[in-house]
């Protein structure tokens, strides 16, 4: 007996795209993990783990988009997922991550670059702010601003040091251009405060 409910072709196509993207991201992550296990050079392994984190950030964005309106990106929900994942992966019980997140909705097209920026900044703090056995606190804040938003990631660790010239921050600056966003780094004494200001961008 045929179903009375008609199948929406657009919905069916969207689900197919969701399935394919999810599978592709899982395949990429599996290949990176495999290469990481087969590599003995710790420098290369660290670089591969960083790339894996970036893939994971994009996968989290994708999952969040398809949990709600696929045209919108809920930034606060994403940041909660990201910080929980990265804190667990870091294995640093001596680092406290405090969240102060207000609801912010961005166009879906801004989701991936925003996620990658947040991933790089938090990874930077977790890996470089605190030496082994000397933990501290990382504060992650998100607030609406002028139709866009303001993301702040601040730590009370070692300060700016050489972090301003790292590859991760080079990636962040390139992604900021894509979002037409402003990035500010401030030596907080102690620690480093990084502020990302994303302007309003209409969905569509």
Identify whether the C-beta of residue 89 lies closer than 8 Å to the C-beta of residue 127.
Answer: no
Instruction: Name the one residue in this structure whose structure tokens are 């990658």.
Output: 116
| The two three-digit tokens of residue 158, written as one number | 């070692």
| Strands 148-155 and 105-107, bridge-based pairing | unpaired
- CATH code (residue 59): 3.30.565.10
Mean pLDDT of the chain: 81
pLDDT of residue 185: 93
SS3 of residue 149 by DSSP: strand
Is residue 2, in this structure, part of any structural domain at all?
Answer: no
Is the pLDDT at 69 greater than 80? The verdict is no
Is residue 1, in this structure, part of any structural domain at all?
Answer: no
pLDDT of residue 145: 93
Q: Any idea what DSSP says for residue 167?
A: H
User: Cα 40 to the chain's mean position, in Å?
Assistant: 28
Tallying the residues shown for the chain, one arrives at 204
Identify whether the C-beta of residue 8 lies closer than 8 Å to the C-beta of residue 48.
Answer: no
Is the pLDDT at 159 greater than 90? The verdict is no
Banded model confidence at residue 67, pLDDT cuts 50, 70, 90:
low
Banded model confidence at residue 164, pLDDT cuts 50, 70, 90:
low
Banded model confidence at residue 39, pLDDT cuts 50, 70, 90:
confident
H/E stretch holding 155 reads strand 148-155
> Left if phi > 0, otherwise alpha if psi is -120 to 50, otherwise beta: which for 2?
beta
Buried/exposed 154-192: b ≥16 CB within 10 Å, e otherwise: bbbbbebeebeeeebbebbeebbeebebebeeeeeeebb
Is residue 130, in this structure, part of any structural domain at all?
Answer: yes
Is residue 204, in this structure, part of any structural domain at all?
Answer: no
pLDDT of residue 9: 55
Is residue 4, in this structure, part of any structural domain at all?
Answer: no
Question: What total of structural domains would you count in the chain?
Answer: 1
Instruction: Name the one residue in this structure whose structure tokens are 């910080």.
Output: 83
Is residue 3, in this structure, part of any structural domain at all?
Answer: no
pLDDT of residue 169: 82
Handedness of CA 90, 91, 93, 97 (dihedral sign): positive
Is residue 113, in this structure, part of any structural domain at all?
Answer: yes
User: Any idea which of 52-66, 99-113, 124-138, 169-183 has the lowest mean pLDDT?
Assistant: 52-66
SS3 of residue 128 by DSSP: helix
pLDDT of residue 25: 66
Between 57 and 107, residue with greater pLDDT: 107
Q: How far is 95 from 130, CA to CA, in rounded Å?
A: 8
Taking residues 78-87, what's their average pLDDT?
90
Residue 37's domain spans which residues?
9-198
* Percent of the chain clearing pLDDT 70 (strictly above): 79
Q: How far is 52 from 79, CA to CA, in rounded Å?
A: 17
Give residue-wise pLDDT tens across range 94-131. Answer: 999 999 999 999 998 898 889 889 988 998 898 888 98
């Amino acid at each position: 007996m045929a179903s009375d409910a008609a199948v929406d072709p657009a919905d069916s196509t969207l689900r197919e795209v969701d399935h394919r993207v999810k599978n592709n991201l899982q395949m990429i992550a599996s290949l990176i993990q495999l290469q990481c296990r087969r590599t003995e050079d710790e420098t290369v392994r660290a670089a591969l783990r960083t790339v894996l984190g970036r893939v994971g950030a994009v996968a989290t964005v994708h999952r969040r988009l398809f949990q709600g309106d696929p045209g919108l990106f809920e930034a606060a929900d994403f940041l909660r997922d990201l910080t929980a994942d990265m804190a667990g992966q870091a294995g640093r019980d001596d680092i406290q991550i405090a969240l102060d997140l207000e609801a912010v909705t961005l166009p879906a097209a801004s989701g991936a670059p925003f996620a990658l920026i947040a991933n790089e900044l938090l990874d930077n703090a977790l890996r470089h702010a605190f030496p082994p056995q000397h933990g501290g606190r990382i504060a992650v804040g998100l607030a609406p601003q002028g139709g866009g938003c303001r993301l702040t990631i601040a730590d009370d660790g070692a300060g700016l040091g050489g972090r301003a010239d790292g590859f991760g921050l080079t990636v962040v600056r390139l992604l900021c251009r894509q979002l037409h966003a402003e990035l500010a780094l401030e030596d907080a004494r102690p620690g480093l405060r990084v502020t990302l200001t994303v302007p309003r961008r209409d969905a569509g």
